[in-house]
Chains A and B, each alone.
Chain A
Amino acid sequence: MGTSLARRESTWGLLFLAPWILGFLLFFAGPMLASLAASFTDLVLVRPGATHFIGLANWARLLNDPLVIKSLLVTGNFLLIAMPIGLALPLLMAVLLNSTRLLLKPLFRALFFLPVLIPGVAAAVIWQGVLNVHTGWIDLSLSGLGLPAPDWLNDPQWVIPALSLISTWSVGNAMIIMLAGLQNVPTELYDAAKVDGANAFYRFFKITIPMISPVIFYNLVLAAIAAFQYFLTAYVIYQNTAGPNNSALFYMMNLFKEAFVYYNMGYASALAWGLFIVGLAITIGLFTTARRWVYYAGGDS
């Protein structure tokens, strides 16, 4: 009787899980396996019927492809510039919003968060105008102050800094998560530190930062993965050109070109698996080192 009830329950449960399990198989596991198989072939979508097994040729090409190396450099360079900004700016906003002294707090919170809701294409188009070397407000201000005005989007040296600047408009989620983290820091810690005579600077770096390190860590993982998926802004600004001297050839831009401009599906499958492996490696790498520098209040988390 008991077992038949349990079986009935698990049958119902599986019935409810069925859509996700089916979706996972159809749109994730199945395609992943199919693309693993495709990565060992010379599949070209516009040339059906002539697909051959070519062994590890795509993978060998991937490891030696100057465009792949370039795309990894571009992506890494972007991470190096955009990630510190992407952690410091939302932290600054969150600290401001967490202060008991700040006036009109809900208004500031809404305005700091607002750019996240602006469609990515619209944001890219607006920033493209703002960063224009002749008519953009940033260069007009810089030259007004007598400073050199870089050609942000057309000078290969300035492309990554420019795209990093644009990415400041997507820190809203990180800000909200960090704000929630700050609100969870027990006030007794600050009171005790004040009694011991610790100044605000010391309190921030010795209490606040360690206490919200799990939140910083979470955002770090998201930022690293997002850099490897970075596509929309670069594509809207540069379309299929990938910027001057391939300076905006992000990993996804390269993958997109191979897959949907040249329809090289075999090689693009290898690239997609490369992305999957890199994403997995970053996540595992960050999680294994996390124990050393992330503080979890409840022990294991």
Chain B
Amino acid sequence: MAAQSGIASKPRIAAVHSVPSIPVVSKQLRGLMVAGTLSLFATLLVTVYLMPLGYAAALSVRSASVEAGQPLWPSDPAQFAYNGQTYDLYNVPVNGAVRTLALTKPGREASTFVDPANPTQPIEWQGRWRTLDRVWNFSPHWANFAEAWKITNFGRLFFNTVAIAVIGTIGAVSSAVVVAYGFSRFHIPGKSILFTILVGTIILPQQVTIVPTYAMFASIGWVGTWLPLLVPHFFGNAYNVFLLRQFFMSIPRDLDEAAMIDGASPFRTLISVILPQAWAAVIAVCLFHFFFAWNDFLAPLVYLVGHEELWPISVGMSYFTGQYTQLPQLIQATALMAMALPVLIFILAQKVFVQGVVVTGVDK
């Protein structure tokens, strides 16, 4: 019996393993191939998509003068110093092999070269030296960044941008928190109409108000100061209010009702009950406003015209680009300096951005 069952079970095991195992393996293989193809495609897409960053990086450390035939990577012509003279290096075809030689005496139809390894023996070469390829050394000019910093007065621009962004962020967050609390927790007659107006102002072009607000700020003498860039943000931006209100709505009311019954004022409840539960959304709003201020262009361009000492990076850089078109390497260096802090913050707080975009974009 036992032997019989052993014999009988053997092919059954084999059947279990062998018959389905072929499709299982090939399915895994197919899955791997799909994963590989997809990932390769995504890599290709990302490379093309971010190619301009590579361009900026390569150009930002390039030498000030560029010669014909110079490679795309940061390079200088390779040279050989001998007897107090410097000679340019060329790739010279000699007897069927390409050698790196220094041009000591250029001539029209024939030139004299020396081998840097053995400079005492001149090599006569027949042919036009201008048709030869030069040898290039990889040499990033890091000093471009220092020069760009100096020429744009970047320290000043950076300080101004940070100051405008930080003050504006304080105003934007504190006012949005207060207004969102009002929208999420209180019965107010006409609240739904007010909320519709609030959402409407998110979607309507904000630039339609730039002309009349300019006239208003001009009439009270605020043009040429930071005030038009700061004060309006202390009145609850619709986008931020919407985001915080959505978040506050998801916080259970039990705790703040308990606090109210204990005699806490609504303001006190906001500070000590709601806010501690809403840090994620508050940080998101902080970051959004900070980035908005960092990128804001039209308002500082209009309000700070002629006041270089007050300019943020965006306006300073635009002006600099128009003035120094013949210095592309410094322009690209400035562009990289301008994006350094935002990109760093993004890397540190990626999740906050992605979630914030989803909340405002999808839940509407």
Using CB atoms, name the residue of chain B closest to A103: B39
Q: Is A78 interfacial (CB 8 A cutoff)? A: no
Q: Contacting chain B: which of A52-60, A93-101, A202-210? A: A93-101
Residue pair A27, B209 in contact (C-beta under 8 Å) = yes
Residue pair B354, A19 in contact (C-beta under 8 Å) = no
What chain A residues lie within 8 Å of B328 (beta carbons)? 129, 132, 135
Q: Is B104 interfacial (CB 8 A cutoff)? A: no
Using CB atoms, name the residue of chain B closest to A225: B205
**A10-B189, A180-B361 given; A117·B291 CB < 8 A:** yes
Q: Is A162 interfacial (CB 8 A cutoff)? A: no
Residue pair B236, A20 in contact (C-beta under 8 Å) = yes
Q: Contacting chain A: which of B44-52, B76-84, B132-140, B250-258? A: B44-52
A235 to B305, CA, bound (A): 15
Q: Is B102 interfacial (CB 8 A cutoff)? A: no
What chain B residues lie within 8 Å of A45 (beta carbons)? 215, 218
Q: Is B188 interfacial (CB 8 A cutoff)? A: yes
Residue pair A276, B205 in contact (C-beta under 8 Å) = yes
Within 8 A of A (CB), among B51-94: 51-56, 59, 66, 72
Q: Is B208 interfacial (CB 8 A cutoff)? A: yes
Residue pair B235, A19 in contact (C-beta under 8 Å) = yes
Q: Contacting chain B: which of A67-75, A79-87, A120-128, A191-199? A: A120-128
A4 to B232, CA, bound (A): 34
A173 to B362, CA, bound (A): 11
Residue pair B55, A137 in contact (C-beta under 8 Å) = yes
Q: Is B29 interfacial (CB 8 A cutoff)? A: no
Q: Is B186 interfacial (CB 8 A cutoff)? A: yes
Residue pair B53, A28 in contact (C-beta under 8 Å) = no
**A119-B342, A176-B361, A232-B297 given; A272·B335 CB < 8 A:** no
Using CB atoms, name the residue of chain A closest to B228: A27
Q: Is A160 interfacial (CB 8 A cutoff)? A: no
Residue pair B211, A136 in contact (C-beta under 8 Å) = no
Using CB atoms, name the residue of chain A closest to B344: A117
Checking B72, B210, B216 against A137 with a beta-carbon cut-off of 8 angstroms, the contacting residue is B72
What chain B residues lie within 8 Å of A215 (beta carbons)? 361-362
What chain A residues lie within 8 Å of B35 (beta carbons)? 101-103
Q: Is A190 interfacial (CB 8 A cutoff)? A: no
Taking the nearest CB of chain A, how far is it from the CB of B282, in angstroms? 16
**A122-B317, A126-B335 given; A96·B42 CB < 8 A:** yes
A101 to B40, CA, bound (A): 12
Q: Is A88 interfacial (CB 8 A cutoff)? A: no
Residue pair A111, B46 in contact (C-beta under 8 Å) = yes
Residue pair A269, B212 in contact (C-beta under 8 Å) = yes
A136 to B332, CA, bound (A): 12
Checking A104, A176, A275, A276 against B39 with a beta-carbon cut-off of 8 angstroms, the contacting residue is A104
**A23-B232, A129-B331, A137-B51 given; A272·B178 CB < 8 A:** no
A residues lining the B interface (CB < 8 Å): 6, 9-10, 12-17, 19-24, 26-28, 30-32, 34-35, 38, 43, 45, 92-93, 96, 99, 101-104, 108-115, 117-123, 125-130, 132, 135-137, 140, 168-169, 173, 176-177, 180-181, 184, 215, 218, 221, 225, 228-229, 231-232, 235-236, 239, 252, 255-256, 259-260, 265, 268-269, 271-273, 275-276, 279-280, 283
User: What are the 4 A-B residue pairs with the smallest beta carbon separation, nearest first?
Assistant: A23-B235, A13-B186, A16-B182, A31-B212
